[in-house]
Structure 1
């Protein structure tokens, strides 16, 4: 038996496989890459982005405050050393953060901008009232808008291509709806013990048919219009004009100009543009020209000394807000910019801490409950009708009753201005004013003699504002408002999951569902889609963005500020919806759209115009804002404030208050609608609130500077907005 050998002896033996068992390395690491030790899972902690000094926006804000306080303390010590008693306290001196000196008024270098679908309001924060500029631009073209676009209101043509009698111009649906409204109005007047003549409509038709206009020479017209003068040589004519100059260009000018409105119904007007860059350029060009002409800031290099407060809608589009921020800081060169929502600005202008704001604009109506300086997110409603819908409906009813100016076309500039004038003068919501009355107006067009028309009206002056979607929205053809929507500008999407992240609210979803179920005309036709084949699998280095996006699946998560909704489909619109279903009050029913039934899918929402009777929309917004709290409900019902130019119809607030009390008999004493305080014009109240916000001393932390934007881009809005961006 062979004796046992030691390990050392085995290592000394050559030719054996055991010789390599001896360690002969030099204790060097296997790699020069630093080795990261394992994390102790039992005691794990990190302070990443948990301190304010780790966030650039907050760090710069604190540094700015310290610099102001240091400067103020040095100025105070210098004044004391010179034997001069400094005026004011140290905190007040440190609050001066807008770059103004002691000789300049605070806010004199802050520009407040409030764009609208019809008018732009702009001015310095120290101005008492803003400058109002039409939100339009005219560019040189071969044909103007009245020659290329279909006349408005649209006339239904007969089979031979001609138009028949006025009763057939707007289709059978309009005639039936108009007759129903007139019949209901007669019943309403009889209940209120008003005298109703049986042949009032015939008197109006007979008079308007038999009275032609009176011709007045232009030199005998004391109120003739000053039209925009163009150079005699067409080559010297400007390439574009904006504002009032554009609106006053003669129709037969040489060269011709085409008028465009970059904003429509609160959205970018993608229907009249074929390029996104041109659309954005026209929008900001109108603002730029207004700053130069209305504020006398002709040199753009001086704008670096100014700050800007920009007013945006409550339910805004993130793509437009981000584009606006970039344009104001990069192209306009402002020192700093901040944003404020319309309803919140209205409370600033009125001096209210809590209120239900109803803003009736030209083409949109927004409703929102504001509490202690914050817009309640679930209560925001944006309805796509406004004062221009009153104008068009009023003209339709007048033409239906054989209006003696039968050639009216709202796509003509002088006809558009005339229609707005007629609405402002004659439309009312006071029942006692309704009778067969004789009125007159003067039609003034460039290069033509003035024509004086005399016409009679009956119930058109009250039925038109009642129908404006306020209380009977079924009379409108809302589908045109969605034409070419999303043709140029896509939705804002989340960077991580690709889902749309524009703000939405429960109240807005309920309004959309109401339109789907009760107003078929508000739902656009489904787009024709080609068959989609599944693509072949290929290797890619980066994740592919999903092709199908559920637009509503992100609206009902509990961990986010804006609720998410169910992606379940909704029933098809009911063509035979009863008036009782339309008049049902949402305040007495379900609190939000998700509780009342299945929500519409994303595609159906995208092609639906959010339309709802105004009184029901107000109650829906208050219900979502109060969330079942009885005290809040009473406070909001007693603090309704109606603003906007569309609300200037005579007796509008009283009539709306009566409608709300009829829907809510349990709150008869609490419901109160008040006008803006201090006799402020309801059209400029939002701008006034923006000017107040721009003059806040030391408490406004929402200013965005160029350094912050250069480093973070639009992400800075997450830290600077006063609401959940």
Structure 2
């Protein structure tokens, strides 16, 4: 080595290493002189002994750092040359040996003497090609061994122990189960997106749309290349939000309670078809349900309970007219009855009847949709495969098996897609994707059956699902907290939506809808001596007339409620049309008022003959259950349960008890989710509409964020065909303001709730931490008394604050929003689903045939916006 390199010191401060006199035996000296190192076992023993004797980790680290720096710089140190070691003379260059004969040998002997006492400082101890000394590697190895022993001890303590022997002998074709790998005990398996097949496939679909994807995977780029739309392809590549061209290959399907809405995502409006099928009786081989044979018409005579509720509705109507200072004729009913009794028909010739209906009486084939409604029930059986907003009609006695039911649904959908608007053949279904709308409180078994039908049987390319309330917000363009009220044909559904999520505990399903309004309106007309006294609305022509009268004359507009003269045309298959004049008074408002007095609907259904249950069909499509506990697996809603138990906030005059109930909502929610439900609740929900809305909004705020209450009341969005009654939004606003509890009507209620919740939580924590256990009945009673005292004091202060304001600014405003841009509320849900179908996000929601074949229904928990 050069003298210049030797003269440069590496460390500014010299390090004094205490050197003791060498008293080792001759064998060690001889081994050091010839450059031999200790065996690994000898090294480990010396390291352990030295660590026990000294235990100076800081000094060791400093020495290692000095040695590493010296090795990198290639210079001499007080400990010797960093690039040379004992036993390496053969590898050194001849020039260096010639230059540094005397000095180098002296330094080498000195360093060997030092390394005998401190072998861990010897650079020769480092493994070949590594800069980490052996003593550090040994220290790490011992640490790993100790950690593994401790980890194994903990695993054995909690019951997880590695078993080497296999106690399962192979039997037949079944192989023994492979034991769990020990390294996966504390792994992050299925906790990252890249470890889930569905999410990996979704990432590939989102980031690499130009590459052909798996079979049945929607690939927009390939479809565009086939059509030659290269310009649109380049434009879509730069647009990250909306791919407009994808709407050409996406079908949006909304199976409602009364009609099936189908259309392309690019369409302005869907193709609406009644969801019914007319089957010739000859195909059923005389297997006709009993309720199809014995049809009874509505009679004017009703039970006493029905008449009492009707009188209550009339009183409410008169009070409303008096409040708005509108005059009510005292003898209006007598005028209506006297005129209708003497009304005579006027014959209409066929050539003058421009709206003449061509009734179908020839049972030559099956008819779907509007054609099925024109079929005579004397020769056909009308079946409805879809009821209750998207669920299969498994309670109907018209079906003999699940295949029979699914055949009606697929036949109805194929009939729509074969129509001139779509012109799609079954072989072309594999080129199209489907966005399916499902109810808020959906039944998992029905949803999975419907998806399997679309993917497996009808061979669509992919299917994505979304809930009705979320689709309504998409269609209306509302991004704030919204309460959605969907009035369908057979059900009314209420749900609160916030930040793109349907709040589960706010969902309510009411078992009445616009069909009940139609039946009541027909009954009220018959009680007013309607000229058509033998009117049977169970027939095809009778129901058609009832729907037409309801659509034209029912209203909530107070100014139009007076004695009015109208006319209708009586059309019966095989007879000449007749025109009648008739008068109405409050029947036009009493029928839709049943939404707020649903007890009259319950009385009307009790009067009719109930339909029998189809036990065979229910056994073929059972309700979804948890595979481990056998409990029901469908969504549970706190609001729905309270409505069925008649535990409503509206009508409770005791504000103290109501406030205690509001503060106890989180515990009631936990009890509901932990409840073991083995059988479904078959009770009918007849809660009034305005009270159900207050219940839904209140529970949504208590379970999510109480400060959202003002936003929910300000954005009540009404949709569905049953909301097409004029001035419905005005009367709904009035009814909510009338029945909403006083304590829930003020803007300061959220602050009161937060304050009380914090105080009660502090009291419970102080009892548990300060006084020890509070499991005894005395301690629980004392805690309950303390909480009640706090609630009473805060409630008194709250009343003083409210009374001191003396203005109306403290009341939460109620605002019912109409559909935007004069859009039909019946198609608002479908419109929202078509908006989602054009957003790039929908690519992450599609599940393909490959997904369904591999995972089945488990794939839905990764392919849904909501928690499936």
TM-score, normalised by the number of residues in structure 2: 0.63
Q: Which one of the candidate residues 598, 611, 629 is aligned to 2:686?
A: 611
Residues 297-324 of structure 1: per-residue CA shift (max 9 Å, x gap) = 3421111110000100000000111101
Q: Which one of the candidate residues 360, 371, 374 is aligned to 2:501?
A: 374
Residues 88-109 of structure 1: per-residue CA shift (max 9 Å, x gap) = 5895378899xxxxxx933101
Q: Which one of the candidate residues 392, 396, 407 is aligned to 1:281?
A: 407
1:192-271 map, 5 Å: 192-228=324-360, 230=362, 237-238=364-365, 240-251=366-377, 256-266=379-389, 267-269=391-393, 270-271=395-396
Q: Which one of the candidate residues 599, 602, 615 is aligned to 1:476?
A: 602
Alpha-carbon distance, 1:679 to partner: 1.6
Residues 688-718 of structure 1: per-residue CA shift (max 9 Å, x gap) = 1111111112564110011111111111112
1:161-180 map, 5 Å: 166=300, 168=301, 170-180=302-312
C-alpha distance in 2 between matches for 1:712 and 1:268: 24
Q: Which one of the candidate residues 719, 722, 736 is aligned to 1:646?
A: 722
Structure 1 SS opposite 2:825: coil
Aligned match of 1:542: none
Aligned match of 2:107: none
C-alpha distance in 2 between matches for 1:213 and 1:35: 83
1:258-407 map, 5 Å: 258-266=381-389, 267-269=391-393, 270-272=395-397, 273-293=399-419, 295-354=421-480, 355-407=482-534
Structure 2 SS opposite 1:720: coil
Residues 17-63 of structure 1: per-residue CA shift (max 9 Å, x gap) = xxxxxxxxxxxx9999999999989x952232233333221122223
C-alpha distance in 2 between matches for 1:502 and 1:35: 32
C-alpha distance in 1 between matches for 2:233 and 2:430: 29
C-alpha distance in 1 between matches for 2:821 and 2:234: 31
Question: Tell me, which stretches of 5 or more residues in structure 1 are unaligned?
Answer: 1-28, 98-103, 156-165, 519-578
Structure 2 SS opposite 1:610: coil
Aligned match of 1:148: 292
Aligned match of 2:238: 92
Structure 1 SS opposite 2:746: helix
Structure 2 SS opposite 1:333: coil
Is 1:623 matched with 2:703? Answer: no
C-alpha distance in 2 between matches for 1:277 and 1:57: 30
Change (3 A) 1:124 1:110: same
Alpha-carbon distance, 1:396 to partner: 1.1
Alpha-carbon distance, 1:185 to partner: 2.9
C-alpha distance in 2 between matches for 1:119 and 1:215: 33
User: Is the Cα contact below 8 Å between 2:565 and 2:582 reproduced in 1?
Assistant: yes
User: Is the Cα contact below 8 Å between 1:641 and 1:674 reproduced in 2?
Assistant: yes
Alpha-carbon distance, 1:487 to partner: 5.9
C-alpha distance in 1 between matches for 2:657 and 2:533: 41
C-alpha distance in 2 between matches for 1:86 and 1:395: 55
Alpha-carbon distance, 1:205 to partner: 1.6
User: Is the Cα contact below 8 Å between 1:510 and 1:593 reproduced in 2?
Assistant: no
Change (3 A) 1:31 1:136: closer
Aligned match of 2:262: 122
Change (3 A) 1:446 1:705: same
Aligned match of 1:412: 539
C-alpha distance in 2 between matches for 1:125 and 1:707: 24
Q: Which one of the candidate residues 165, 186, 204 is aligned to 1:45?
A: 186
C-alpha distance in 1 between matches for 2:656 and 2:471: 29
Change (3 A) 1:594 1:200: farther
Structure 1 SS opposite 2:844: coil
Alpha-carbon distance, 1:349 to partner: 0.9
Alpha-carbon distance, 1:243 to partner: 0.6
Q: Say which is worse superposed, 191-200 or 455-464, in terms of deviation.
A: 191-200
Residues 635-667 of structure 1: per-residue CA shift (max 9 Å, x gap) = 111011101110010110111011112234536
Larger Cα-atom Rg: 2
C-alpha distance in 2 between matches for 1:86 and 1:482: 55
C-alpha distance in 2 between matches for 1:90 and 1:437: 58
Alpha-carbon distance, 1:392 to partner: 0.6
Aligned match of 1:424: 551
C-alpha distance in 1 between matches for 2:232 and 2:422: 35
User: Is the Cα contact below 8 Å between 1:218 and 1:448 reproduced in 2?
Assistant: no
Is 1:512 matched with 2:644? Answer: yes
C-alpha distance in 1 between matches for 2:317 and 2:681: 35
Change (3 A) 1:594 1:442: farther
User: Is the Cα contact below 8 Å between 1:361 and 1:644 reproduced in 2?
Assistant: yes
Q: Which one of the candidate residues 810, 817, 826 is aligned to 1:674?
A: 817
Structure 2 SS opposite 1:68: coil
Alpha-carbon distance, 1:184 to partner: 4.0
Aligned match of 2:787: none
Report which structure shows greater RCO (CA 8 Å, sep ≥6). 1
Is 1:452 matched with 2:579? Answer: yes
C-alpha distance in 1 between matches for 2:386 and 2:177: 59
User: Is the Cα contact below 8 Å between 1:145 and 1:259 reproduced in 2?
Assistant: no
Q: Say which is worse superposed, 322-331 or 174-183, in terms of deviation.
A: 174-183
Alpha-carbon distance, 1:492 to partner: 0.7
Structure 2 SS opposite 1:495: coil
Alpha-carbon distance, 1:431 to partner: 1.8
User: Is the Cα contact below 8 Å between 1:145 and 1:412 reproduced in 2?
Assistant: no
Aligned match of 2:738: 662
User: Is the Cα contact below 8 Å between 2:710 and 2:812 reproduced in 1?
Assistant: no
Structure 2 SS opposite 1:58: helix
TM-score, normalised by the number of residues in structure 1: 0.75
Structure 2 SS opposite 1:338: strand
Aligned match of 1:541: none
Alpha-carbon distance, 1:589 to partner: 7.8
Structure 2 SS opposite 1:293: coil
Is 1:434 matched with 2:561? Answer: yes
Alpha-carbon distance, 1:674 to partner: 1.0
C-alpha distance in 2 between matches for 1:655 and 1:190: 15
Question: Tell me, which stretches of 5 or more residues in structure 2 are unaligned?
Answer: 1-163, 170-175, 214-220, 748-810
Alpha-carbon distance, 1:626 to partner: 1.4
C-alpha distance in 2 between matches for 1:94 and 1:660: 43
Structure 1 SS opposite 2:484: strand
Aligned match of 2:845: 702
C-alpha distance in 2 between matches for 1:199 and 1:288: 55
Structure 2 SS opposite 1:417: helix
Change (3 A) 1:190 1:39: closer
User: Is the Cα contact below 8 Å between 1:110 and 1:307 reproduced in 2?
Assistant: yes
Structure 2 SS opposite 1:259: strand
C-alpha distance in 2 between matches for 1:371 and 1:623: 14
Residues 441-465 of structure 1: per-residue CA shift (max 9 Å, x gap) = 0112222111111111111111111
Residues 536-559 of structure 1: per-residue CA shift (max 9 Å, x gap) = xxxxxxxxxxxxxxxxxxxxxxxx
User: Is the Cα contact below 8 Å between 2:505 and 2:699 reproduced in 1?
Assistant: yes
Structure 1 SS opposite 2:418: helix
1:553-592 map, 5 Å: 590-591=661-662
Alpha-carbon distance, 1:67 to partner: 3.7
1:685-696 map, 5 Å: 685-696=828-839
User: Is the Cα contact below 8 Å between 2:291 and 2:611 reproduced in 1?
Assistant: no
C-alpha distance in 2 between matches for 1:281 and 1:593: 45
Change (3 A) 1:426 1:583: farther
Change (3 A) 1:409 1:604: farther
Change (3 A) 1:581 1:284: farther
